[in-house]
Structure 1
Amino acid sequence: MSGPVPVGATAPDFVLRDQNNQEVSLAALREQGPVLVVFFPLAFTGTCEGELGYIRDRLPEFTADGMSTVAVSVGPPPTHKVWSSAQGFLFPILSDFWPHGAVAQEYGVFDEVRGIPNRGTFLVDRDATVLFSAMVGPGEARTAQTWEAVLGVVAP
Structure 2
Amino acid sequence: MTASTVTPLAVGQVAPDFSLRDQNGVEVSLSALTADKNVVVVFYPFAFSGICTGELDEIRDHLERFVSDDLQVVCISTDPMFSLRAWADIQGYFFPLLSDHWPHGEVTRAFGVLNPATGAPVRGTFLLDRDRVVRWTLVNGPGEQRDFSELPAQVAALS
Q: TM-score range by the shorter chain?
A: over 0.9
Unmatched segments (≥5 aa) in structure 1: none
- The DSSP-based 3-state class of the residue aligned with 1:64 is coil
8 Å CA contact 1:110, 1:117 repeated in 2: yes
Give the TM-score of the pair, scaled to structure 1: 0.94
In the alignment, the residues of structure 1 paired with residue 84 and residue 51 of structure 2 have an alpha-carbon distance, to the nearest angstrom, of 16
AA in 1 matched with 2:156: A
- The DSSP-based 3-state class of the residue aligned with 1:104 is helix
In the alignment, the residues of structure 1 paired with residue 91 and residue 29 of structure 2 have an alpha-carbon distance, to the nearest angstrom, of 23
In the alignment, the residues of structure 2 paired with residue 134 and residue 62 of structure 1 have an alpha-carbon distance, to the nearest angstrom, of 15
Q: CA RMSD in A?
A: 1.2
The Cα shift of 1:155 comes to 1.4
Aligned to 1:102: 106
Aligned-pair identity in percent equals: 47
Q: Does 2:154 match 1:153?
A: yes
In the alignment, the residues of structure 1 paired with residue 65 and residue 146 of structure 2 have an alpha-carbon distance, to the nearest angstrom, of 17
In the alignment, the residues of structure 1 paired with residue 84 and residue 60 of structure 2 have an alpha-carbon distance, to the nearest angstrom, of 15
Task: Map 1:68-87 to 2 at 5 A.
Answer: 68-87=72-91
Aligned to 1:93: 97
Q: Does 2:8 match 1:4?
A: yes
Measured against aligned partners, the alpha-carbon deviations of 1:9-51 in whole angstroms (never above 9, x if no partner) come to: 0011110000001100000000121000000000000100000
Give the TM-score of the pair, scaled to structure 2: 0.93
- The DSSP-based 3-state class of the residue aligned with 1:5 is coil
How many residues in Structure 1 have an aligned counterpart in Structure 2? 153
In the alignment, the residues of structure 2 paired with residue 85 and residue 132 of structure 1 have an alpha-carbon distance, to the nearest angstrom, of 30
Task: Map 1:4-153 to 2 at 5 A.
Answer: 4-143=8-147, 147-153=148-154
The Cα shift of 1:100 comes to 0.6
The Cα shift of 1:70 comes to 0.4
- The DSSP-based 3-state class of the residue aligned with 2:108 is helix
8 Å CA contact 1:4, 1:134 repeated in 2: no
Stretches of 4+ moved more than 3 A in 1? none
Measured against aligned partners, the alpha-carbon deviations of 1:87-136 in whole angstroms (never above 9, x if no partner) come to: 01110000000111111100110001111000000001001110111211
